[in-house]
């Protein structure tokens, strides 16, 4: 058994990307997440054995099935608040659930968020090939988070939420795993702000995500003020 499964947790469409409000309407934010998810899964389909979407949202699960993905219904976790050590309990428990489901079916899992649409600009296949001989590969996100983990299922505790990159590294070292850190601008770019949308407009040629943003009349220009990019949309 030398398989690798991709695990992607997805929140409710209705709560997607609230930090982009009011720049994007709720329907636009939902469609943005769908476009990003399609970009990610289209990239992964040729290079992983299965893509697993875990969510408690019926609309997310239905869309994942439209894309031909495997779905897991997230268990109803009552502890959804941030714990004392800064972990997002609901997300980490969902990932643990998905890994329990996967562990007798695959040797490794690659865990990714649903909002890194530029992953197709990277050589993610190289990472997956490296994972055949390595037990821990991690890609940091902007701001100290984690945007990709490749591990044996349940080999470390999930620490997503807050500065998870450092927490995952520390847990790997405690368990005598040798962390390989892969820095990637494209994989580090998760979409949360209007400036992130600008990065997609600049670097996302050929993606469903950029195509969708263009359909909304979104434009980007260089800015020398507080923010590096000025993102606007047609009236």
Question: Average pLDDT for residues 6-24, to the nearest whole number?
Answer: 93
Would you put residue 161 in left (φ > 0), alpha (ψ -120 to 50) or beta? left
pLDDT band for position 44 (cuts 50, 70, 90): very high
- Answer whether 89's CB lies under 8 Å from 97's CB: no
| Region 131-150 average pLDDT | 95
CA 118 to chain centroid: 11
pLDDT by residue (tens digit) across 58-92?
Answer: 999 999 999 999 999 999 765 445 444 444 589 99
Q: From 62, 48, 56, select the one nearest 9 (Cα to Cα).
A: 56
Cα-based distances in Å from 111 to 128, 154, 228: 12, 12, 30
Domain boundaries, the chain: 4-188, 194-233
Whole-structure pTM value: 0.93
How many whole angstroms separate alpha carbon 32 and alpha carbon 200?
Answer: 12
Yes or no: say if 44 and 36 are a contact pair by the CB < 8 Å rule.
no
4-188 — its CATH code?
3.90.550.10
Q: Provide the pLDDT for residue 129.
A: 94
């Amino acid at each position: 058994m030398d398989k690798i499964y991709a695990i992607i947790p997805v929140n409710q469409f209705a709560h997607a990307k609230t930090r982009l409000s009011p720049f994007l309407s709720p329907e636009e934010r939902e469609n943005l997440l769908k476009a990003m998810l399609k970009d990610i899964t289209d990239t992964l389909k040729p290079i992983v054995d299965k893509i697993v979407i875990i969510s408690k949202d019926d609309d997310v699960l239905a869309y994942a099935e439209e894309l031909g993905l495997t779905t897991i219904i997230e268990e109803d976790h009552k502890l959804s608040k941030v714990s004392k050590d800064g972990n997002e309990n609901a997300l980490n428990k969902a990932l643990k659930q998905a890994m329990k489901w996967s562990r007798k079916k695959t040797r490794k899992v690659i865990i990714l968020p649903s909002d890194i649409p530029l992953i197709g600009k990277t050589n993610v296949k190289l990472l997956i090939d490296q994972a055949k001989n390595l037990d821990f590969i991690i890609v940091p996100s902007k701001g100290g988070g984690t945007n990709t983990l490749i591990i044996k299922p349940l080999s470390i505790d999930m620490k997503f939420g807050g500065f998870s990159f450092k927490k995952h590294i520390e847990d790997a070292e405690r368990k005598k795993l040798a962390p390989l850190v892969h820095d990637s601008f494209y994989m580090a770019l998760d979409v949360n702000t209007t400036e992130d949308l600008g990065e997609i407009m600049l670097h996302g040629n050929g993606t469903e995500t950029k195509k969708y943003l263009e359909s909304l009349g979104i434009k980007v220009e260089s800015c020398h003020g507080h923010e590096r990019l000025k993102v606007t949309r047609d009236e």
